[in-house]
Structure 1
Amino acid sequence: MQGLSDIGVAVIGTGFIGTVHLWALRRLGVRLTGVLGSSAGRGAERAAALGVARAYASLDELLADPDVDVVHVTSPNHAHYAQVKAILAASKHVICEKPLAMTSVESAEMVELARSSGRIAAVCYNTRFYPLNQQARGMVGAGELGDIRLITGHYHQDWLAKPGDWNWRLEADEGGTLRSVADIGTHWVDLTSFISGLSPVAVLAELATFIPERQKPLGPVETFARTSDRASETRRIQTDDAGLILLRFDNGARGSVTTSQVSHGRKNAMSWEISGASASASWHSEHPDHLWLGHRDEPNQMLQRDPGLMNATGSAAASLPGGHVEGFGDTFFALFRAVYADVLAGRRSPQSNYASFEDGHDEMLFCDAVIRSARDGRWVEVGGRE
């Protein structure tokens, strides 16, 4: 019987998030066949630094390797579409970072290709796999919050708060038309939809670019790296530093979310609050082992992550005993554990709750609606036509 150590895995991308994938894959116990960098030289350099035996010189070389069963795509957004198409055409399973593509036209095609391929195809919305987010999903499913009325929150960071801060996501031709909304806002939308079972059906959005000119360093830059002391050139910026979005849901619920990559002091602050007819719940990514539960006629509660105190959905997602904090890196391990169980089975289980390409396409439709709403200054239906 095939086990995890028999599965050969290659990773495209050797920067911050590609490295996080590698850490989680090693913990999982699959067999790493190699990495593909942005260039042959860059790939070889990073492979040596990460202790990976092989650096592929090209995508064609990677896909021709018969030892590769699964490919992780952690490259810049503009590369996802072509790389995923080639991976599926080569009959290999794929796990793609978000956003799935640059446009919803691309993501729609990717959904169809994934369906017809018969391969496992997942999108890396890892925040679903914080155990207390799984706990909250179980609570909503059991009716413990009652009918959902209001979903609010934010996702704020500060790593692009200065004119000297730089990353490829700043430029539309590499990251897409949207930045803060697509890069981190879609995480929030996917997560709250996953927990509540509700997806936005209409949006009213305003986007802001507070730093219209930035200094782009001359040379490669890794995500979250400091760049202010490097030689640079001035570049005009048109992608959003921040977004403010009102939401409507098909059950009549309302919501709002703000996104920002220029909020000083907020390192990776995603927060949601869901208010129902019976109770409320709230969670914050910088304090991931605590779930706040709000009540009207009894004391509020704070549930610390402890498998012995959680519901079946939450405890199944936990890897460590209570008091041993599970954080960002652990979510990738939990996500990959679920995906690779399906790889071994040869099909997606009905119980699997990682994000599919269909989910990734839904987020692209959400981004389309945000762009149109911000441009026209009006409510726009998600998935609606121009």
Structure 2
Amino acid sequence: MTGQGMNEIGAAVIGTGFIGTVHLWALRRLGVRIAGVLGSSPGRGGERARALGVDRAYNSLEEMLADPGVQVVHVTSPNHAHYSQVKSILAAGKHVVCEKPLSMTSGESAEMVRLARDSGRVAAVCYNTRFYPLNQQARGMVQAGELGDIRLVTGHYLQDWLAKDTDWNWRLEPEAGGVLRSVGDIGTHWIDLTSFITGMKPVQVLAELTTFIPERRKPVGPVETFSRSQGATEPRTITTDDSALLLLRYPNGAKGSVAISQVNFGRKNFSAWDIAGSAASAAWGAETPDHLWIGHRDGPNQILQRDPGLMNGLGREAASLPGGHVEGFADTFFALFRQVYGDVAAGGRQPGSTYASFEDGHYEMLFCDAVLASAREGRWVDVRETTT
């Protein structure tokens, strides 16, 4: 595949809901050829393919993988399907982009890492928030020593789409989404992002998990992510976490804390971090993604507006538009896929690539194991204790 142009690479998307649609938008903008989609059923797939303007809806994963026009498969299905689908995709010799979390257990993710490595194919986890350009900028600043030694990493990730007992999504069911919900769904985004920026992954965690809504009304029919359900419902007991409070320890002695919630009214998708170093601090939030705050002790603080002409190499590479033209959520997928498909065209992951690998996805599963152990036992847990 080396030397192929973007429009010569064929992609297929598993999942036709909210995130699958966002993947399609980004791929079209990139110029990648869309070979087809696979829905939760042939009927659902055909209906969504027509709505999205995609020519082909596959009836099965086997049919998709047998299509010689498919070189890359995007997995945006419910979490429980990732493991088996990714295994089949890699066995078929296709490259893969998998939504987070990578799997349901660290045992599964460990095997996925090995299979991806042995396959020689590009294998990415879709931690898209890395690709807000100013998050890449912040990583470059840390690498250049502009913040000094990292001391404190704090922040939150807050949403409200599950704040009512009538709100429903498949992520609420452990058999589909896993035993950790807020942590597995959005908490791992924050951990991955701050680890990416600082160049350090937390080694210990102390966790408190809370389920504020122990019973919900499940609709009889399907509900798409972030949409409202209608019609008849049935009561369901909820055991997964609505929120989490996490304390973190890093290998260099730095400390951290993060609040995670899917039940904060008015917070639609508010991820934010604040990183304090020995020379300067920096802070960023997803509600104002084109501004990076930089804090100083002996001079004026700064606000860096996303502008390729003012940014370092990493930040500039992730940006697409001139300064003053806001880049947001959907643009992060475009920037991520631009890098992934560049590597597909080059024949493998390149040294300068910054998207999350399957190894990164496996770490997040180990981190989730540590969170669960800490919450159940009321103690600090070393993430390395859970290494598979």
Interval of TM-score (by shorter of Structure 1 and Structure 2) = over 0.9
Q: Deviations over 1:182-208 (max 9, x none)?
A: 100000000000000011000000000
1:374 maps to 2:375? yes
Partner residue of 2:51? 49
Secondary structure of the residue aligned to 2:284 is: strand
Measured after TM superposition, the shift of residue 82 of structure 1 is: 0.2
Contact 2:130/2:136 (CA < 8 Å) preserved in 1?
Answer: yes
Partner residue of 1:198? 200
Amino acid at match of 1:133: N
- The 2-side partners of 1:100 and 1:269 are apart by 22
Partner residue of 1:78? 80
Amino acid at match of 1:180: S
Partner residue of 2:218? 216
Map 1:118-197 to 2 at 5 A.
Answer: 118-197=120-199
Amino acid at match of 1:221: V
Q: Deviations over 1:273-325 (max 9, x none)?
A: 00000100000001000000111111111111011111111111110000000
Q: Paired residues, what number? A: 385
Partner residue of 2:248? 247
Partner residue of 1:314? 315
Can you give the 5+ residue segments of structure 2 that lack an aligned partner in the other structure?
none
- The 1-side partners of 2:311 and 2:111 are apart by 39
Contact 2:149/2:278 (CA < 8 Å) preserved in 1?
Answer: yes
Partner residue of 2:9? 7
Q: Deviations over 1:154-205 (max 9, x none)?
A: 0000000000000000010000010000100000000000000011000000
Secondary structure of the residue aligned to 2:203 is: strand
Secondary structure of the residue aligned to 1:308 is: coil
- The 2-side partners of 1:150 and 1:125 are apart by 22
Partner residue of 1:344? 345
Contact 2:370/2:386 (CA < 8 Å) preserved in 1?
Answer: no
Partner residue of 2:66? 64
Amino acid at match of 2:121: R
Secondary structure of the residue aligned to 1:293 is: strand
- The 2-side partners of 1:193 and 1:167 are apart by 28
- The 2-side partners of 1:242 and 1:230 are apart by 28
Q: Deviating runs (4+, > 4 A) in structure 1?
A: none
Map 1:256-335 to 2 at 5 A.
Answer: 256-335=257-336
- The 1-side partners of 2:292 and 2:353 are apart by 23
Partner residue of 1:92? 94
Secondary structure of the residue aligned to 2:162 is: coil
Measured after TM superposition, the shift of residue 3 of structure 1 is: 1.0
Partner residue of 2:233? 232
- The 1-side partners of 2:287 and 2:18 are apart by 19
- The 1-side partners of 2:317 and 2:55 are apart by 34
- The percent identity for this pair of structures is 75
- The 1-side partners of 2:82 and 2:384 are apart by 21
Amino acid at match of 1:41: G
Secondary structure of the residue aligned to 1:220 is: coil
TM-score normalised by length of structure 1: 0.99
Secondary structure of the residue aligned to 1:215 is: strand
CA distance 1:217–1:6, shift in 2 (3 Å): same
Q: Deviations over 1:4-25 (max 9, x none)?
A: 1111110000000000000000
Contact 2:207/2:374 (CA < 8 Å) preserved in 1?
Answer: yes
Measured after TM superposition, the shift of residue 2 of structure 1 is: 2.2
Measured after TM superposition, the shift of residue 31 of structure 1 is: 0.6
- The 2-side partners of 1:148 and 1:230 are apart by 51
Secondary structure of the residue aligned to 1:384 is: helix
Measured after TM superposition, the shift of residue 383 of structure 1 is: 2.6
TM-score normalised by length of structure 2: 0.98
Amino acid at match of 1:164: T
- The 1-side partners of 2:336 and 2:232 are apart by 39
Amino acid at match of 1:355: A
Contact 2:11/2:71 (CA < 8 Å) preserved in 1?
Answer: yes
Partner residue of 2:110? 108
Contact 2:182/2:261 (CA < 8 Å) preserved in 1?
Answer: yes
- The 2-side partners of 1:27 and 1:292 are apart by 30
Q: Provide the aligned C-alpha RMSD in A.
A: 0.8
Measured after TM superposition, the shift of residue 385 of structure 1 is: 4.2
Contact 2:137/2:314 (CA < 8 Å) preserved in 1?
Answer: yes
- The 2-side partners of 1:121 and 1:56 are apart by 22
Secondary structure of the residue aligned to 2:384 is: coil
- The 1-side partners of 2:191 and 2:223 are apart by 28
